[in-house]
Amino acid sequence: MSTTELSELRRTIGQLRQCVGALRSRYGDASAVRRLANDVERLDIDTAELDDHPQAVPVQAKPAERVPVPDTPYDPALWSGADDEGVGGYKRDQR
C-alpha cells in the first residue's frame, strides 16, 4: 500500500471509531456495539501491521492461453442426427 492509501485507511478507521463511539453512547454496552468496536480495533491493528512490512511486489497475472479457432466450416457429418435447440426434433426423420 502506498503512503496515501495508508493515510486514507487510518482516516477512515478514525471516522469508524467516532461512529462506534456515538453508537455506544446511544445503545450502551450492547453486544453488537462491542463487536463493532472490536472490528475497528482489528482494522487498526492490521493497518499498523501493513505499515511495518515493506511494500509487496504485485503479482503479474499470466496471459490467457489462446486457442486457435479455424475459419473453415465444420464437417456437416458432425451435426448429423443432432436436434436444433428449441425446435424439438426438427428434421429427426431425415438421415
- The residue with greater pLDDT, 31 or 95, is 31
The grid coordinates listed for 24 are 455506544
pLDDT digits (tens, 9 = 90+) for 45-91: 999 998 887 666 666 778 888 888 889 888 888 877 776 666 655 55
Query: What's the CA gap between 47 and 11, in Å, rounded?
Result: 11
- The residue with greater pLDDT, 79 or 33, is 33
Calculate ∠ Cα 2-55-43, nearest 5°. 70
How confident is the prediction for the chain on average, in pLDDT?
84
pLDDT computed for residue 26 by the predictor: 95
Query: What's the CA gap between 27 and 21, in Å, rounded?
Result: 10
- Domain boundaries, given as residue ranges, for the chain: 1-50
- The residue with greater pLDDT, 2 or 21, is 21
Q: Is the pLDDT assigned to residue 27 strictly greater than 80? A: yes
Q: Is the pLDDT assigned to residue 11 strictly greater than 70? A: yes
